[in-house]
Amino acid sequence: MNKGGKFHAPALPCEERELFRAELDDVVPLTPHGRVLPSPVRLPPVPLSLFHDERALIHESLHDPIRWDGETEETSYVRPGITRQTLRRIRRGDWMAQAELDLHGLTRAEAKRELSDFLFECKRRSARCVRIIHGKGLGSKDREPVLKLHVRHWLTQCDEVLAFVQARPADGGSGAVVVLLKSPNY
């Protein structure tokens, strides 16, 4: 193959060319099969501004400040219309996490941005069940979880979130949540 991308057969001596033609004398072309081969499907263009608008919408939906009392620690959340059985199935681990976000070491503002970007990407890729690791606060000042209440509050504010539960001990326990997101056709 040369630089132009076209294949050129090597030049054959005259005798070899004649031998090759002699071998091809009894070759019969294939009969047409009658099938129509479809042309490749071109997806319609999607304006980039649509992605930016959706990402901004998800980010704006994560309101501050936290409205509930800091003493109350929500370990689960279910949006109205979603059954408690769904919550139990998530808690049991019936849903496998398709994506994961680790927020360790981030500030509240960085975590909020990362979470909104992550939820947008999950929506775009049609991920249904995800795990978000916010940490237990073991390395923070006063050994209190900095992001735990914020992440859970932000998740309750996001329309894409149907439910979440505290992760099982093997999946992070009180330092993570497993989140069920809307399906694309919900």
Of 34-43, 45-54, 67-76, 102-111, the poorest mean pLDDT is in 67-76
Extract the runs of DSSP E, i.e. beta strands, from 12-156. Answer: 76-78, 99-102, 129-133
Domain limits for position 151: 76-181
pLDDT of residue 5: 55
- Residue at 45 is within a domain: no
- Residue at 120 is within a domain: yes
Query: Residues 166-175: pLDDT tens digits?
Result: 999 888 888 8
Angle separating helix axes 108-124 and 48-61, nearest 10 degrees: 130
- Residue at 41 is within a domain: no
The pTM of the whole model exceeds 0.85: no
Would you place residue 119 in the very low, low, confident or very high pLDDT band (cuts 50, 70, 90)? very high
- Residue at 62 is within a domain: no
How many structural domains does the chain have? 1
**Separation of alpha carbons 171 and 64, rounded Å:** 27
Query: Residues 48-99: pLDDT tens digits?
Result: 776 777 777 676 666 555 544 444 455 788 999 888 898 889 888 888 899 9
Domain of 141, CATH number, reads 3.30.1370.110
pLDDT of residue 73: 52
Q: Are 77 and 156 in contact (CB under 8 A)?
A: yes
pLDDT at 178 over 90: yes
